[in-house]
Structure 1
Amino acid sequence: MMNYRKIALFSCLLAALVVTLGAYTRLSNSGLGCPDWPGCYGFISVPTHATDVLLAESLFPDSQLEPKKAWIEMVHRYFAGCLGLLIAFLCIIAVRNKKQSVLPVRLVVLLAVLIVFQGALGMWTVTLNLQPFVVMGHLLGGFSILALLSLMYFRVTNSQERLEDRVSHYFNLALGVLVILSIQIALGGWVAANYAAPHCTGLPVCNNIELFSLESLFHLPLGKENYEYGVLPFDTRLSIHFIHRLWALVTALAIFAMAWKLYRVAVSKTFKGAVLWVVTLLLIQLTVGSAIVHLQFPLLLTLFHNFMAAMLLVSMVRLCFLIKYRCQEAL
C-alpha cells in the first residue's frame, strides 16, 4: 500500500510536469514541430543526421523541420507516454487488489479511459493542424487527469480519521466554485487555442474595448486547413480574451466568498489551512495574470500562469475532498 501511495504521488508530479510541458509546447508555437504522430517525421525521435533530415523533408515536403520546436514537441510526448504507462500500471494494481476498499478502483479505471482519449486528442491536435476545439479539449484533458490523479492520491494517503468541523454541509458550495474555476480554465484554453492573448492589451480592460462584441464570439474557427497562429478576426480574439478576464473576476469573487464563509465556520487547522492555500494561490494567479498583460505576454511568465492554474485546481479538489470525505459536524 505504501508503494501505491508513492507511485500515486509520482503520477501527480508527472502529470503536473506534462501539463506544464504541454503549455510550453503551445506557447512556444511548437505544436506542429512534428507533423505526424506519434513519431516525428517518420522517426521515433527528431531526425538529426543529414540523411535522415533529407528523408524527412522528402516525406513531408509541406513542413519545414525546425529541430528546436520538434524536440519540444517530442519531449512532451515522451513524458505524456510515461504518464500513460504509469496510469495503466496503477489501474492494473487497483483492479487486481479491488477487494481492498482503500484503493479507488473506479477512479483509476476512469483515469485509464481518460488517458487513452487524451492520447487520441494529442494525435488529432497534430493531424487536424491545431484545430482550436481539439487543442482546448487536449488542454482540459490534461487538467482533468491531473485533478483525478490528485483526488486518487488524497484518497489513498489521507488519514481515515474524521475531522471535527462545521463545514460538512458546504460540499455543494465548494463543488460549485470548482465548476466556476473549471470554466475559467476552459476559457483560458480557448484563448490559447485561438492565439488571442496579445489581442487584448491594457488593464483593466482592453485598449480597443470598443471592438468587443458578444456576437463575434460565435465566429467559430472552422473549415481551415491549418489553424497555427489563429484564424479568427481581431475583434473575435479580443472578445474571447476579454470574456476570460470577466470570468476571472467572477471566479475570484466566488472563491473569496466561499473562503470567507468556510474559514469563519471551520474548526480544524487542517481545513483552515486548505482554505488559506486556495486563497493564496488565487492571489498569486491574479497578480501573475496582471503582470503578463503589463509586460506584454512574456513566455515564461505565461507558462507560470498555466502552472498556477493547475495548482489552484488541485487545491480546490483537495478542499472538496476534505469536506466530502474527512469532515463531520463538530459537536
Structure 2
Amino acid sequence: MQLFNQPELRKPGFRLAFCACLVAVIVLGMGVFTRLADAGLGCPDWPGCYGHILWPNEEHEVARANEAFPHAPVEHDKTWPEMIHRYLATSLGLFTIALLVLAVRHRGPQQPLKLPIFLLGFIILQGMFGMWTVTLKLWPQVVTAHLLGGFTTLSLLWLLTLRLNNHRWQVPAIGEARLRSLRRFAVVALVVVTAQIALGGWTTSNYAAIACPDFPHCQGAWLPPMDFASGFNIGQHVGPNYLGGIMDNDARVAIHVSHRIGAIFTAIVLLFMFVRLRGLGHMAANRMSWVLLVVLIGQILLGVSNIVFSFPIAVAVAHNLVGALLLLVVVSANYFLFTAEVNRGGVRL
C-alpha cells in the first residue's frame, strides 16, 4: 500500500503537517498520562503553575505556593506532567500557525486553505478546554470534550497530511459500484469509532475504568448492579473537585460495561469493513484492510490487558494511543475511498 507520494508530487507543507502529526501524538500521549496519573490538577492555576512559568522547585517557592494554594499543596510528581503537556500543546498551536502561513503563501485551487484555518480555530478552542479542565476542577463533561478534541486535532492534522501528500487510489471500473457502497459504510465506521472513543473518554473522566476489575465478568457477574441514569447524566452540575470521581459504584459499573459493549459493537463493524475493503478488488485497499485488522486486534488485546494486569499506566496510555491509530486508519480509509478515481482501463494501483 503506497501511502506517501513521490516528494516532487506532494504539495507545499507536507513535511510540516507530518511533523505536526507526530507532535500531536506526543501531546495526546502526554495528556493521557497526565490524566491517568491524577495530575490533571497538578497545577491548580492556569496558564502558569502556582504562579510560575514552569513549576515551583526551590524550598521557599514550594512553601509560598502551599501558602497561596492551601487546598492543593505542591506534588512534584504531578506538576511537571501537567506543565510539559501544556507547553507541548502550545507548540502544536505554533505548528498550525505555520501551516496556515504556508497555505496562504501557496494559495491555489489545489492547496488546502479552509482546513488549516479550521485547524487553527480548533486548536484555540482546544486550549480553552484545557483551561476549563483546570478551572472547573476536572468536570467530566469538559475532560471528555478535551480528550475528544485531542483525537480530533490529530485526525484533522492527519487528514491535512493526506491531502498535501496528493495521492489517490485508482479503482478499476468493475469496482465502481462497490466503491460507492463502501464509502457509505466507511462513514458509519468512522462514526462508530468516534462514539467508542467518546465512551472511553467518559469512562476515564469518571474514573470508571477500575469499576470492573475482572474479565470477562464484571464484579463476578455478567450483569452486575448498574445505574445508567446516574452514569450517563451529562447534565450533572460542577462540583468542588472531581479528582477521583464522585459517582457511586453502580453508576461507574454502568459506564464501564457500556464501554465493553461498545468495544464489541465497534469490533464487529470494523471486521465488516475489513471484509468490504478486501471485496473492493484493489491492492491498496487489501493492504489497508490488513492494517485495520492488525490495529483492531492490538487495541482489543490492550483493552483486555488493562483489566487483567490491573490497569498499569503504560498499558492504559498504549490503549489510548492505539485507539488513536485505529481512528487514523479509518480516517485514511475514508479519505482514499472518497478521493478514489475510477480507472476505466481497469488497471489496479
Partner of 1:328: helix, strand, or coil? strand
Matched residues in 2 for 1:137 and 1:42: separation?
26
**Residue 310 (structure 1) shift:** 0.4
- What one-letter code is carried by the residue in structure 2 that aligns with 1:54? A
After superposition, residues 21-32 of structure 1 pair within 5 angstroms as 21-32=30-41
- What one-letter code is carried by the residue in structure 2 that aligns with 1:89? A
More displaced stretch, 130-139 vs 157-166: 157-166
**Residue 329 (structure 1) shift:** 6.2
Find the counterpart in structure 2 of residue 211 from structure 1. Answer: 225
In the alignment, does 2:167 pair up with 1:152?
no
After superposition, residues 247-326 of structure 1 pair within 5 angstroms as 247-267=262-282, 269-326=283-340
Unaligned runs of 5+ in 2: 1-9
After superposition, residues 62-141 of structure 1 pair within 5 angstroms as 62-99=71-108, 101-141=109-149
Matched residues in 1 for 2:199 and 2:168: separation?
36
Partner of 2:342: helix, strand, or coil? strand
**Residue 63 (structure 1) shift:** 1.1
TM-score (norm 1): 0.95
**Residue 3 (structure 1) shift:** 5.9
Matched-pair contact (CA < 8 Å) for 2:168–2:341: no
- Equivalent of residue 172 in structure 1, options 165, 180, 184: 184
Partner of 1:265: helix, strand, or coil? coil
Give the percent of matched residue pairs that are identical in Structure 1 and Structure 2. 35
**Residue 232 (structure 1) shift:** 0.6
Matched residues in 1 for 2:43 and 2:229: separation?
36
Matched residues in 2 for 1:160 and 1:218: separation?
41
Structure 1 pair 130–64 and aligned structure 2 pair: CA distance change class (3 A)? same
- Equivalent of residue 188 in structure 1, options 176, 200, 209: 200
More displaced stretch, 290-299 vs 226-235: 290-299
Matched residues in 1 for 2:165 and 2:216: separation?
42
Matched residues in 2 for 1:306 and 1:151: separation?
19
Partner of 2:310: helix, strand, or coil? coil
- What one-letter code is carried by the residue in structure 2 that aligns with 1:150? W
Matched-pair contact (CA < 8 Å) for 1:168–1:329: no
- What one-letter code is carried by the residue in structure 2 that aligns with 1:156? L
Find the counterpart in structure 2 of residue 202 from structure 1. Answer: 214
Matched residues in 1 for 2:168 and 2:289: separation?
20
- 1:309-331 residue CA offsets vs partner (Å, 9 max, x unmatched): 00000111001111011342664
Matched residues in 2 for 1:152 and 1:295: separation?
38
TM-score (norm 2): 0.90
Find the counterpart in structure 2 of residue 42 from structure 1. Answer: 51
**Residue 61 (structure 1) shift:** 2.1
- What one-letter code is carried by the residue in structure 1 that aligns with 2:101? I
Structure 1 pair 229–107 and aligned structure 2 pair: CA distance change class (3 A)? same
**Residue 2 (structure 1) shift:** 6.3
Find the counterpart in structure 1 of residue 252 from structure 2. Answer: 237
How many pairs does the alignment contain?
Answer: 329
Matched residues in 2 for 1:161 and 1:242: separation?
39
- Equivalent of residue 23 in structure 2, options 14, 36, 59: 14
Matched-pair contact (CA < 8 Å) for 1:285–1:309: yes
Matched-pair contact (CA < 8 Å) for 1:168–1:327: no
Find the counterpart in structure 2 of residue 227 from structure 1. Answer: 242
Structure 1 pair 327–247 and aligned structure 2 pair: CA distance change class (3 A)? farther
Matched residues in 2 for 1:217 and 1:161: separation?
44
Matched residues in 1 for 2:341 and 2:201: separation?
34
**Residue 171 (structure 1) shift:** 0.9
Q: CA RMSD in A?
A: 1.7
Matched residues in 2 for 1:241 and 1:223: separation?
22
Structure 1 pair 163–265 and aligned structure 2 pair: CA distance change class (3 A)? closer
Matched residues in 1 for 2:251 and 2:209: separation?
12
